[in-house]
Amino acid sequence: MPTTDVSPAALAAAVLDRADRLAACSEEPGRLTRRFAPPALAAAGDLVLGWMGDAGMTARRDAIGNVVGRWEPPGGAAASTLLLGSHLDTVRDAGRYDGMLGVLVALACVERLRDAPFAVEVFGFADEEGVRYGTAYLGSSVVAGTFDRDALGRRDADGVAMADAIAAFGGDPAALDGARRDREDLLGYVEVHIEQGPVLEAEDLPVGVVTGIAGQNRAEVTFAGVPGHAGTVPMALRRDALVAAAELVTAVEARATDGLVATVGELRVEPGASNVIPARARLSVDVRHLDDAAREAAVADLRERARAIASSRGLDVAWTAVQATGAVACSPALMTELEAAVADAGARVVRLPSGAGHDAAVMSNLGDIAMLFVRCAGGISHNPAEAVTAQDVAVAIDVTSRVLDRLGR
């Protein structure tokens, strides 16, 4: 839906309408779940490719299925490029703005761009959340050249290997290295994203400038005990895998102190019958902190605690480190541009860290990064109640456009 009125307010309305259209692309009826590589993600990517084409961009998919649009200035091939974007995949039962807002605001800024001394590329990354394979940032890690090829063998809950999912999605597992973006012409990467927290609402501000992105560890822990009859095995003789997992879950919560957050979001029990003592319990552990040493110390403590719990209960335990991403600082030079643009747009400047992970953390391997947070209602995210206002989206479009203007001078 190309818009002739390119005012931030008009484009903000288009962004919200497009977010609604993308939200209809779901794997599950009645709620928004769009993991890596199902037809729902293909449909969402096709919509974005169409809008990119309408905006005068050359649009394509890369080897892992990211959608990439490139806008060239009227004068032809530019010597440098600014990267914008965010992700198009979602968590389960997700909100419609986490990721998608950044792609759509970037697209809106291109729609109002008339001239610039550089090109602009907009990325809609195919997998940032890592819901299907447990590893976050599949899309941006391919672009940044940090993709871990060992992950190609990981299997999803249905036993589908990642390499097969990529091929079925139309990508090419053998061409992932070639999809790495050169860094020579890059001005940097700027990502617009909902805050997913309460600070901007508390400050009564539409946008904020991000200082850094917390590091995160993802692990899978499996306790293995002995299945048995729920009615006949005496409590003292049990080797119950789920009770051990429950002990670790409360230990994870107890370890989250001094700015550290830790979460168990997944728990699978086998064989999974009410009258069978659990033989195996597999849980995810997610640990975050802005300070890498604090995060790594907490992971080491929890790993030791899992071993002690298993030992005290006569069980086996396996702790598999799935992924570790260090904390990343945003580029001071790009932050200065964002802060000036926020001030020029008439908003008070506030700086805030990101507890959530973002593709920008991975894109920092290519060069300078910066992020603009947009207020979201109640700070709610990873939840269908996720919401933004058209007014705040208009400010985000205005500020991001001003950043492009400032970088062009």
Residues that bind ligand HGY (CB under 6 A): 128-129, 136, 356-357
Asked whether position 368 contacts Mn ion by CB under 5 A, the answer is: no
Q: Of the two residues 26 and 90, which places its CB atom closer to ligand HGY in the complex?
A: 90
Half-sphere exposure of residue 354: CA atoms within 13 angstroms, side-chain side:
31
- Rounded least distance, CB 238 to ligand HGY, Å: 35
Task: Tell me which of ligand HGY, Mn ion, none is bound by residue 334, counting a contact when its beta carbon lies within the kind-specific cut-off of 5 to 8 angstroms.
Answer: none
Site string for Mn ion, 69-98 (x = CB under 5 A): -----------------------------x
139 binds Mn ion (CB under 5 A): no
- Per the DSSP assignment, residues forming a β-bridge with 71 are 120
| Inter-helix orientation angle 39-54/100-111, to 10° | 20
Least distance to Mn ion from the beta carbon of 99, Å?
4
99 binds, among ligand HGY, Mn ion, none (CB under 5 to 8 A by kind): Mn ion
User: What's the rounded Cα separation, in Å, for the pair 259 and 59?
Assistant: 41
Beta carbon nearer to Mn ion, 241 or 322: 322
- By CB under 5 A, tell whether 286 contacts Mn ion: no
Nearer to ligand HGY, 136 or 315 (CB): 136
CB nearer to ligand HGY: pick between 128 and 386: 128
Of these partners, ligand HGY, Mn ion, none, which one is at the site of residue 111 (CB under 5 to 8 Å by kind)?
A: none
- CA separation for the pair 357, 369 (Å, rounded): 13
For the bound state, the minimum distance from the C-beta of residue 91 to ligand HGY, rounded and expressed in Å, comes to 7
130 binds Mn ion (CB under 5 A): no
Which of the listed partners (ligand HGY, Mn ion, none) does 357 bind, with a CB threshold of 5 to 8 Å by partner kind?
ligand HGY
Find the shortest distance in angstroms from Cβ 221 to Mn ion. 22
For ligand HGY, the closer of residues 62 and 128 by Cβ is 128
Among ligand HGY, Mn ion, none, partner that 136 touches (CB below 5 to 8 angstroms by kind):
ligand HGY
Which CB, 217 or 222, lies closer to Mn ion?
A: 217
CB of residue 280 vs ligand HGY: minimum separation in angstroms?
Answer: 26
What minimum distance in Å lies between the beta carbon of 25 and Mn ion? 16
Number of residues that bind Mn ion (CB under 5 A): 2
Q: Count CB-CB contacts under 10 A for residue 50.
A: 12
Query: Shortest distance, CB of residue 31 to ligand HGY, whole angstroms?
Result: 17
74/268 Cα distance (integer angstroms): 55
Give the one entry of ligand HGY, Mn ion, none that residue 212 binds, where binding means its C-beta sits below a cut-off of 5 to 8 angstroms depending on kind. Answer: none
Half-sphere exposure of 229 (CA within 13 A, CB side): 4
Site string for Mn ion, 143-182 (x = CB under 5 A): ----------------------------------------
The full 3-state SS of the chain, as one line of letters, equals CCCCCCCHHHHHHHHHHHHHHHHCCCCCCCCCCCCCCCHHHHHHHHHHHHHHHHCCCEEEECCCCCEEEEECCCCCCCCCEEEEEEECCCCCCCCCCCCHHHHHHHHHHHHCCCCCCCEEEEEEECCCCCCCCCCCCHHHHHHHCCCCHHHHHCECCCCCEHHHHHHHCCCCHHHCHHHCCCCCCEEEEEEEEECCCCHHHHHCCCEEEEEEECEEEEEEEEEECECEECCCCCHHHCECHHHHHHHHHHHHHHHCCCCCEEECCCEEEECCCCCEECCEEEEEEEEEECCHHHHHHHHHHHHHHHHHHHHHHCCEEEEEEEEEECCEECCHHHHHHHHHHHHHCCCCCCEEEECCCCHHHHHCCCCCEEEEEECCHHHCCCCCCCCCCHHHHHHHHHHHHHHHHHHHC
Nearer to ligand HGY, 239 or 288 (CB): 288
Least distance (Å) from Mn ion to the CB of residue 194?
Answer: 8
User: Which member of 69, 99, 139, 278 binds Mn ion (CB under 5 A)?
Assistant: 99
Q: Which C-beta is closer to Mn ion: that of 98 or that of 195?
A: 98
Give 70 or 382: the residue with its C-beta nearer to Mn ion.
382
Which residues, listed in sequence order, are joined to residue 220 by a DSSP beta bridge?
Answer: 284, 320
296-335 binders of Mn ion (CB under 5 A): none
> Residue 387 CB, nearest distance to ligand HGY (Å)?
17
Contacting residues toward Mn ion, per CB under 5 A: 98-99
